[in-house]
Amino acid sequence: MSSIHSAEKDLILDPEDVVGVLAEQAPGIIDKIHNRVRFWREKVGAVMDPHLELSAKAAPVFIANMANRYGYTRNISPEKLDSIGLYLAYHRGEHPVDMRNRFEKVIEAFSEEFTVVRSTRVTNSIGGHDLRQREAGIRTDGVGLNEYASAEETVQILIEVGMDPEDEQEKSYLDAVSRDIRGTTFNPMKTDESRRLGALAPDLIPEILEKYLAADTAKAATAELQPVLRKLDEDLRSGARDDQPTLLVLRSVLQKYLAGENGKKAMEEIEDMLLVADCDVGSVAEGLEKFVLSGMDLWREITEKQGKTLNDVPAQVTLGFLTNGQKGFFGMHRFQTEKMAAVFAAGKAKVAAQLPVLVERITAEFSANMSSEDVMKRFLELAIEIESAS
């Protein structure tokens, strides 16, 4: 295990402690988890699938630890602040819950393709992907230290609730969850050309090829895949792209090598890893208000991590983040999977049409006597107004 940041709270694993944290920070979430378990129990029949049972045990542990370390709700009360480690406006307990909601919409649209094993693997990856948020830096392989540490703790939790790392199939499951989480490492900086722009996940596909293919075949597939991956990154940086989902572009190469049962398993793991990355940035397609709230949360978190309050930041700087920053983030978004695009592309198109209007209006209304809080408040008001009028 990696060393934990000195100020980070230790994992909560005791069931009574988990329930206690959830009762304080996220009341009602247990009922939502039970409702989802009931959905899957009906889907697979009377017999309780072991992966579903373990996932049901792990879900509250993930949420409790996120809530205990970083808070759960956006508008957290002062008394709840006293009992958590470090309140984070963006990376708090509701973030993975929002991601799961996005994934469930994909499941509903493609229910026949998602077995319980696949679905729980994705939901467990989502549940644990942000468990650690104080590990600054990037490893030499491009994986963020937060993501690497979160992957380790997610595996630890899954073993704690009953997964057997000595069992070949369960070890494969745990390895896939770890890779899914490492793949959510996100590079938002076009100036950083040392690693892929956006999610790292596509660069981890060779790991899956090595897992399922003979060594020489995996090597040949990776060699053919690399120039396609480089072209995708170059197109994303330049803006000269056709917006086809990443996996659709890669399929022509992958299908040449992924035949038979092993090929099917490899393709499923590739798609699921990319889906986790898709769900992580899915706010671009859930309406203008949600996209704006997500950006505002992120800006609050950035300023908090710098030891500042929002009004310590010049209003012009906040305006720049909310306008140019959010336009830049939206502009470099690309769906990783066809499934995510099928469900969310229409929503993204609406936001794409509304965002320039919002940016133009807030820029026109900005005045020198506004504070950063004033800018944030007006930005949200305008977003709601524009979305309601559409």
pLDDT tens per residue, range 8-63: 899 999 999 999 999 999 988 888 888 877 777 776 554 567 888 899 999 999 99
Q: Cα separations (Å) of 281 from 101, 122, 286, 333?
A: 13, 15, 10, 8
- Whether residue 97 is contained in a domain is answered as yes
Q: For residues 246 and 241, what is the distance between their CA atoms, to the nearest angstrom?
A: 11
Report yes or no: 26 and 84 within 8 Å, Cβ to Cβ: no
Q: Indicate if 303 and 363 belong to the same structural domain.
A: yes
Interaxial angle between packed helices 15-25 and 50-70, expressed in degrees from 0 to 180 and rounded to the nearest 10? 60
Q: Which residues pair with 186 in a beta bridge?
A: 199
Q: What is the pLDDT of residue 7?
A: 72
- Domain final residue, candidates 244, 279, 314: 279
Report yes or no: 122 and 36 within 8 Å, Cβ to Cβ: no
- Whether residue 135 is contained in a domain is answered as yes
- Whether residue 189 is contained in a domain is answered as no
H or E element, residue 186? strand 186-187
Q: Indicate if 275 and 288 belong to the same structural domain.
A: no
What are phi and psi for residue 200, nearest 5 degrees?
-75, -20
- Domain final residue, candidates 279, 305, 323: 279
Q: Indicate if 53 and 126 belong to the same structural domain.
A: yes
Number of domains in the chain: 3
Its pTM stands at 0.95
Q: For residues 360 and 374, what is the distance between their CA atoms, to the nearest angstrom?
A: 17
What token pair was written down for 39? 């959905």
Q: What is the pLDDT of residue 38?
A: 79
What token pair was written down for 96? 């993975």
Segments in the chain below pLDDT 50:
1, 46
Interaxial angle between packed helices 338-365 and 372-389, expressed in degrees from 0 to 180 and rounded to the nearest 10? 120
The letter for the amino acid at 256 is K
- Domain final residue, candidates 234, 250, 279: 279
Report yes or no: 310 and 318 within 8 Å, Cβ to Cβ: yes
Q: What is the pLDDT of residue 1?
A: 46
DSSP, collapsed to helix, strand or coil, labels residue 233 as helix
Report yes or no: 95 and 148 within 8 Å, Cβ to Cβ: no
Nearest to 28 by CA among 66, 73, 70: 73
- In the chain, which residue ranges form alpha helices assigned H by DSSP? 15-25, 29-44, 50-70, 78-81, 94-109, 116-128, 145-160, 168-182, 205-212, 215-238, 246-257, 260-280, 288-305, 315-320, 326-331, 338-365, 372-389
Q: Indicate if 305 and 267 belong to the same structural domain.
A: no
What token pair was written down for 376? 């944030």
Nearest to 297 by CA among 146, 159, 90: 90
Q: For residues 146 and 136, what is the distance between their CA atoms, to the nearest angstrom?
A: 7
Nearest to 375 by CA among 305, 295, 301, 304: 295
- Whether residue 348 is contained in a domain is answered as yes
Q: Indicate if 349 and 223 belong to the same structural domain.
A: no
Q: Indicate if 27 and 118 belong to the same structural domain.
A: yes
Tell me the residue range of the domain where 124 lies. Answer: 1-182
- Whether residue 188 is contained in a domain is answered as no
- Whether residue 57 is contained in a domain is answered as yes
Q: Tell me, what DSSP letter sits at residue 213?
A: S
Q: Cα separations (Å) of 297 from 189, 276, 312, 313?
A: 19, 21, 16, 15
Q: Indicate if 129 and 206 belong to the same structural domain.
A: no
- Whether residue 187 is contained in a domain is answered as no
Report yes or no: 2 and 152 within 8 Å, Cβ to Cβ: yes
Q: Indicate if 173 and 229 belong to the same structural domain.
A: no
Q: Indicate if 130 and 212 belong to the same structural domain.
A: no
Sign of CA dihedral 79, 83, 86, 89: negative
Q: For residues 329 and 131, what is the distance between their CA atoms, to the nearest angstrom?
A: 23
Q: What is the pLDDT of residue 46?
A: 45
Q: What is the pLDDT of residue 192?
A: 85
Q: Indicate if 26 and 152 belong to the same structural domain.
A: yes
All residues at 6 or more sequence positions from 331 whose CB lies less than 8 Å from its CB, including other chains: 239
Q: Indicate if 116 and 135 belong to the same structural domain.
A: yes
- Whether residue 190 is contained in a domain is answered as no
Q: Indicate if 141 and 220 belong to the same structural domain.
A: no
Sign of CA dihedral 261, 264, 265, 266: positive
Report yes or no: 363 and 323 within 8 Å, Cβ to Cβ: yes
